[in-house]
Structure 1
């Protein structure tokens, strides 16, 4: 990818995108801008991943544009987001601008492959999560260079986490946040001495609201930083994806109602490599017929993989209701069924099918 990027190889178009840390933009492989140093480059499989890492699209090579002629409505919507990337544009505000929200969603989805709301959420989350990925030193340098006023970077951090690192001394109780790389995308982990509060994919719908609710309810500030619980979580998640682990030994601090907490405890009792229906789970919780309530409780779980809501499926075997995306749910189930040995055997089968 590095060779293709420096050669502006047209054959690489559509295969990857390039993020440039020093400018905060992401580009096509064929972008005509001056090439950055290799150590300042990140590669991404798609625009969503680059946006969630805090990069904005390059104005020169326009990596989001599917065709040279962008629809005027799509361009209008995107420009509105870039004017205030930390804000929210509601359906009412779209209507006030004379834009039909359903039309906006359809056109944006058709052109960019993501909904308008997903794009705005990615820009907000990305600006704040860049803080988590780069750390305080780089952040302070960006502020000094005027990056703050240009992008709303600091405002995004304050809205989501409560304070920037340089304000942490006066913030009171702190939770620490790190990003964890996985084969299914980056995850955000949040923890303190009490344990792990959040572990979920950065593009998970509702993660932004969960972070805000967490810090408001616990009266805490979330800052980028390391913590022994985060180190342990990263290690165990890495072992999980490598096929060396299917259960976890981490202190957890789930924040839910009495029923949600009961549902989450039950989820941890479902053996790896197996699944259970929503109706069976409801019956096990003493609420027969409450499949919808079980589904809602599972949907409020933000300790993904560790509290394995991906192991709950419809009674007919269909995959339904996974906040991280059904493709991830399918992958996790396939992975676990390949790693966990069949009942009554001592052999473990790796995801590639080789015995260990």
Structure 2
């Protein structure tokens, strides 16, 4: 059951007042620091325009925030399984620590069980979750003008060389230097969470998190763009989120988000043709092949559709079988049916 939050003004006032009556009602994410807190946190209060509110710590985590070390909001993480709570507390206490499998075992945790939980809940392993958040925190600080040395020590690294090596292994370039990095996060939708990936230039990834080929799509993206992925916040993610929310509410039919797509010449032609299909209109694979320029290339068109890395916005869901059947969608046929029905009802 979805929790209805109080008004933003009411929650912000509760935050200013450190009102304990709101404990368990909401947590607050601070955009400028990337952390989330309890209503009673004693840390310095941010401006209202720099915060967003969530009904649970799980939602804050899914949106890229890290737990505050002052108020330790993960203590309120009631949705966590009981067996995991002690580990989450230890992670809150030492977010900079590298937790090894043997240490988890010594504490009575099964590394494989922890790994499965984080993969299912956050889409990444426990170790990747810790590593990406640490590196992302440092990357944001560097972008804000902090020196590499300051960032390294604030993120718990004992040496600058160790930090630089870890950063380069993850990001593909040395800290403080220009490089290709894609910021990723998760967006909740009526059809399930989606993974979004952006650069300063535009959107390059939008896929349902449980798509079978998601890992393959990410690998292809990394190779074609010569980039690495890091979790975090980005204005472009906010823009994608807002426009998707409008689409799902039925108030938006066209997107104006800049796209960063890389593929073969044929793939580019197929994707470009997809973008020209109007809202609520469908085409068959054969019609799409004809538009692309080769009526015999039906299978190739279907394959290129399946290799589309930007779902919904590049509307491959509008391609159907010649007999009108709804088939062939990477996010699942049930989602394709839902999207087409949604568009027909809101045209």
Structure 1 length-normalised TM: 0.54
What's the counterpart of residue 262 of structure 2? Answer: 254
Indicate which of 9, 12, 26 corresponds to 1:2: 12
What's the counterpart of residue 163 of structure 1? Answer: 173
Indicate which of 71, 78, 84 corresponds to 2:82: 71
1:98-247 aligned at under 5 Å gives the runs 99=110, 101=112, 103-104=113-114, 108=117, 114=121, 117=124, 123-127=130-134, 136-140=143-147, 143-144=150-151, 146-149=153-156, 158-163=168-173, 166-168=176-178, 175=180, 187-190=196-199, 198-200=204-206, 214-219=221-226, 243=251, 246=254
Question: Aligned with 1:2: secondary structure?
Answer: helix
Query: 1: CA distance between counterparts of 2:208 and 2:141?
Result: 15
The reply on whether 1:34 has 2:43 as its aligned counterpart is yes
Deviates more, 1:266-275 or 1:179-188: 179-188
What's the counterpart of residue 307 of structure 1? Answer: 314
Query: 1: CA distance between counterparts of 2:131 and 2:77?
Result: 23
Is this contact kept in 2: 1:136–1:165, CA < 8 A? no
Is this contact kept in 1: 2:63–2:186, CA < 8 A? no
For residues 42 and 122 of structure 1, do their structure 2 counterparts lie closer, same or farther at Cα, with a shift above 3 Å needed? farther
Indicate which of 266, 272, 275 corresponds to 1:268: 275
The reply on whether 1:56 has 2:63 as its aligned counterpart is no
Is this contact kept in 2: 1:51–1:122, CA < 8 A? no
Is this contact kept in 1: 2:58–2:79, CA < 8 A? no
Is this contact kept in 2: 1:187–1:201, CA < 8 A? yes
Question: Aligned with 2:177: secondary structure?
Answer: helix
Query: 2: CA distance between counterparts of 1:189 and 1:66?
Result: 29
Is this contact kept in 2: 1:52–1:122, CA < 8 A? no
User: In the TM superposition, what is the alpha-carbon distance from 1:198 to its structure 2 partner?
Assistant: 0.8
For residues 72 and 179 of structure 1, do their structure 2 counterparts lie closer, same or farther at Cα, with a shift above 3 Å needed? closer
Question: Aligned with 2:61: secondary structure?
Answer: helix
User: In the TM superposition, what is the alpha-carbon distance from 1:264 to its structure 2 partner?
Assistant: 3.5
Query: 2: CA distance between counterparts of 1:51 and 1:139?
Result: 25
Extract unaligned runs of 5+ from structure 2. Answer: 1-10, 290-295
Give aligned pairs, total: 309
What's the counterpart of residue 25 of structure 1? Answer: 35
Query: 2: CA distance between counterparts of 1:69 and 1:249?
Result: 36
What's the counterpart of residue 6 of structure 2? Answer: none
For residues 201 and 50 of structure 1, do their structure 2 counterparts lie closer, same or farther at Cα, with a shift above 3 Å needed? farther
Extract unaligned runs of 5+ from structure 1. Answer: 341-356
User: In the TM superposition, what is the alpha-carbon distance from 1:16 to its structure 2 partner?
Assistant: 3.3
User: In the TM superposition, what is the alpha-carbon distance from 1:155 to its structure 2 partner?
Assistant: 6.8
Query: 1: CA distance between counterparts of 2:319 and 2:75?
Result: 36
Structure 2 length-normalised TM: 0.55
Is this contact kept in 1: 2:28–2:51, CA < 8 A? yes
User: In the TM superposition, what is the alpha-carbon distance from 1:105 to its structure 2 partner?
Assistant: 6.6
Query: 2: CA distance between counterparts of 1:145 and 1:158?
Result: 13
User: In the TM superposition, what is the alpha-carbon distance from 1:7 to its structure 2 partner?
Assistant: 3.1
CA-based RMSD: 6.1
User: In the TM superposition, what is the alpha-carbon distance from 1:2 to its structure 2 partner?
Assistant: 0.8
